Amino acid sequence: MRKWFWGFLFIAFGFVCSIAAERNPRTERISGSAGDVLEDDPVGRLKVYVYELPSKYNKKILQKDPRCLSHMFAAEIYMHRFLLSSPVRTLNPEEADWFYTPIYATCDLTPTGLPLPFKSPRMVRSAIQLISSSWPYWNRTEGADHFFVVPHDFGACFHYQEEKAIERGILPILQRATLVQTFGQRNHVCLNEGSITIPPYAPPQKMQARQIPLDTPRSIFVYFRGLFYDVNNDPEGGYYARGARAAVWENFKNNPLFDISTEHPTTYYEDMQRAIFCLCPLGWAPWSPRLVEAVVFGCIPVIIADDIVLPFADAIPWEEIGVFVAEEDVPKLDTILTSIPPEVILRKQRLLANPSMKRAMLFPQPALPGDAFHQILNGLARKLPHQKSIYLKPGEKILNWTAGPVGDLKPW
C-alpha cells in the first residue's frame, strides 16, 4: 500500500512538473486596485525632512561594523541613503509632511552576525531627546508626523524572543510615530495600527548575479533550507517556530517530493529557481528573507505563519501568488500542495514573473521606480493629509517619557 501511495505521488509530481517546468516567461499584471497601488509614483505626493543627526547615531556605527550593510535588517541603512538623494526630500522642514530620524538601531552585531537589540531603546530615546530639543517639530505632535525604520525581529519591542518582546511592548516614546518594520502579526502588541510592514533586506546584486536561464526546468517540488530546531535557545523543540519547522522535518524528511535540509549549499539561489514551491515558515519571528527570495526567483511561497501581516499587502496580492498553510496543518503539506490544480500553479508563476512584483521586494542600489523604497513612500503618502487631531495644544503632553523598563532610561 505504501509503495502504491508513493507511486501515486510521483505521478502527481510528474504531472505538475510537466506543466510548471515550462518556465513560461509570460507575465500577468495584477488586476484591480492592487496593481495600481504597486505602480504608484510617490514623487510629488509627499515631502520628507531628514534630520541631520551626529554620526554616532548612524555612520560611525556602520564604520565600526560594515557587516550591517548585508544583514537582513539593513533596510534602515539603505532607507537613509535613499532619502538623502530622493526627490521627495525637502531641506525646508516647514513644508515637510513627514520627518525621518536616521538611526541604525540594529547595527550592533554578535561575532556570528546576530543583532543585539538591548542598546536600541536607549539609542532611540537619545535621538528623540536630541531632535525634540533642537527642532520644534517633534513637540508639536509628539512624533505623530514622524516615521522610524525599526527592522528588528519584533520591531520597536526591541527583543528577539517573543515572550520578552511582548512583555516590553513598543517603546513608549514611539507610540505615536509611524513604524516602518519587518515584523507583522495581527493582534500583536509589537504591531501598531498604521505601521508599514516591509520586506527584510536581501542583497539585490547578489541575487541578480545568480539568475539561471529561464528555460531551466523546475524539477524540485518543495524546497527549504534552514533550521528545524534551535537547540541552543530551545532544546526541547516546542517553542522555536511554534513547532511548525519541527513538524516539517518530522513529517517530510523522507518524502521524495520534499528537498529539505539544514545544510545551506552554495547553489541555494539556483535551487530556488529550480523549485515550484518554497517553504517560508516562521522562525523566532513570523518573517524571514525566504519570502523575498521566493518572490524574486519565481518560486511559489508557502507561507506557514498564522496571522502574519505581509509586506505591502495593499499592493502585493499575496493570496494570489502564494499558498497559506496553517501551522496546525503542516502534517498535511504534501496533500495540500499536490492538490493544487496545474492551472492555478501556472497563474501564480505568471504573476510572480511580473517584474514589478520582484522590484517591490527589493532595496536596490541605486533605487528603481516601484522598488521597496518607493512602496514605503507610497504607504506614507496614503496616510496623508494628517488629521488635525495629531497636533497638540500648547503645553499638552500625551507620551510618558519615563515609562518602560528602568534600563531603557539610562543614558546612551
Q: For residue 310, give every residue at least 6 positions away whose Cβ sits within 8 Å of its Cβ, in sequence order, or none.
A: 184, 197, 291, 303, 316, 318
pLDDT digits (tens, 9 = 90+) for 331-374: 999 999 999 999 999 999 999 999 999 999 999 999 999 999 99
As to burial, measured by CB atoms within 10 angstroms (0-12 exposed, 13-18 middle, 19+ buried), residue 401 is middle
The cell numbers describing 376, all together, are 514605503
- Cα→Cα distances 181→17, 51, 248, Å: 37, 19, 28
Peptide bond into 366 cis (omega under 30): yes
In angstroms, rounded to a whole number, what is the distance separating the alpha carbons of residues 370 and 40? 7
As to burial, measured by CB atoms within 10 angstroms (0-12 exposed, 13-18 middle, 19+ buried), residue 282 is buried
- In the chain, the N- to C-terminal Cα span, in Å, equals 66
pLDDT digits (tens, 9 = 90+) for 260-285: 999 999 999 999 999 999 999 999 89
Biggest alpha carbon–alpha carbon distance for the chain: 78
- Cα→Cα distances 192→96, 377, 389, Å: 23, 18, 18
Residue with cell 540594529: 106
CB 245 within 8 A of CB 281: yes
- Cα→Cα distances 297→25, 223, 336, Å: 12, 12, 22
DSSP conformation letters of 205-230:
HHHHHT---TTS---EEEEEES-S--
Q: Model confidence at 36, in pLDDT bands (50, 70, 90)?
A: low
Q: List domains and CATH numbers for the chain.
A: 10-29+207-359 (3.40.50), 40-201+367-404 (no CATH)
pLDDT at 19 over 70: no
In angstroms, rounded to a whole number, what is the distance separating the alpha carbons of residues 247 and 226? 14
Q: Three-class SS of residue 153?
A: coil
In angstroms, rounded to a whole number, what is the distance separating the alpha carbons of residues 375 and 198? 9
Q: Which residues pair with 324 in a beta bridge?
A: 303
pLDDT, position 239:
84
Residue with cell 521566493: 294
Q: Model confidence at 34, in pLDDT bands (50, 70, 90)?
A: low
pLDDT digits (tens, 9 = 90+) for 166-223: 999 999 999 999 999 999 999 999 999 999 999 999 999 999 999 999 899 999 999 9
How big is the chain, counted in residues? 412
| pTM, to two decimals | 0.91
The cell numbers describing 81, all together, are 541613503
Q: Three-class SS of residue 62?
A: helix
Provide the mean pLDDT of the chain.
Answer: 91
pLDDT at 8 over 90: no
In angstroms, rounded to a whole number, what is the distance separating the alpha carbons of residues 301 and 153? 20
Radius of gyration of the chain (CA): 22
In angstroms, rounded to a whole number, what is the distance separating the alpha carbons of residues 42 and 50? 17
Q: Give the torsion through C-alpha atoms of 381, 382, 387, 391, to 10 deg.
A: -40
pLDDT digits (tens, 9 = 90+) for 93-120: 999 999 999 999 999 999 988 888 999 9
